[in-house]
Amino acid sequence: MKRSKKEDLGKGIRALLSSLDDDVSIKKAGAKRVKEVMNTIIDLPITTIEVNPFQPRVHFDETALEELKKSIQIHGVVQPITVRKVGVNQFQLIAGERRLRASKLAGLKNIPAYVRLADDQQMLEIALIENIQREDLNPVEVALTYQRLIEECDLIHEQLGERVGKNRSTVSNYLRLLKLPPEVQKGLKEKTLAMGHAKALLGIEDVVLQIALSKEVITNNLSVRQTEALVKKYTTRSKAPKQKSDPSHSLPLAYKKLQDQLTSSLGTKVAIKRKTGGHGEIIINYYNDDDLNRIIDMLEEL
């Protein structure tokens, strides 16, 4: 029996609708698969992962990388990296660049990864927070990372504290370290000064005195309590009533510049007293015997 054109047309429409249903089913299955991947750890080919452009770390210790490589060769990657999907079979690293680098050195083809959804700001925030959680960070590095989170992720102290699991006062104490002069920050970076030492030194407004006392703390290996007592001694002295200076003896600009240059060069407070007639005196402050010997050594080299 010959089929009518109407029947053939109806069959074609049914086939088309069936095809569309299949497409919808495929898309639903695909979405389900993506959802499943987003909540599981999967092995990804290392070649499909690009580095995080927001990575806050710029230096990776070669010795530490070599040690991690050997560990991975023996035990594998214990802690998965975190990535986000950016294209077909293409991922971008959010956290774990050190593990990724070491895995490449170890010759791995695949690496366990946790896939998550994240926009650019979230990526930066995750990378910075992971950076803070490293055990080898010194207090200045932590403070700088907090500062980046505040400025680049538009967070206030309370929000930052919630993100990193610290209270507001702890965050504020770290950020205050960035007000210390570079010489004192160097002690924190080299771990010759502890956080408690730095908090005590922040009680002094005179930058030159801060530097001098930090050197004394390091040289004499003073405890935090001893440092607090030392700072208290100098802050008490600085609160003593000062004699009023004679405005007629104010220094000309050239002398003030010279006074500042001497203060900077010697690393201690220097005062030029210019009297009527052109004569005067230069007063060089020192804070202890070690500081005096340091200044004498510098003067002998001139």
168: its two tokens: 């507001």
CA 224 from centre of chain: 24
Looking at this protein, which amino acid is placed at residue 119? D
DSSP string for residues in 73-124: HHH--SS-EEEEEEETTEEEEEE-HHHHHHHHHTT-SEEEEEE----HHHHH
Say how many C-beta atoms besides its own lie within 10 A of residue 43's C-beta: 13
Chain centre to alpha carbon of residue 261: 33
Catalytic residue IDs: 97
Q: Which are the contacts of 287, defined by CB distance < 8 A and separation ≥ 6?
A: 209, 212, 213, 216, 234, 268
Which amino acid type is present at position 218?
Answer: I
DSSP symbol at 209: H
Residue 65: DSSP 8-state: H
Classify residue 150 as exposed, middle or buried by CB count within 10 Å of its CB (0-12, 13-18, 19+).
middle
Structure tokens at 139: 């207090």
Rounded-to-integer distance, Cα 104 and Cα 49, Å: 11
Give Cα separations from 190 to 38, 114, 177, 184, 187 (angstroms).
Answer: 41, 35, 14, 10, 5
Query: Are 262 and 246 a contacting pair, CB within 8 Å?
Result: no
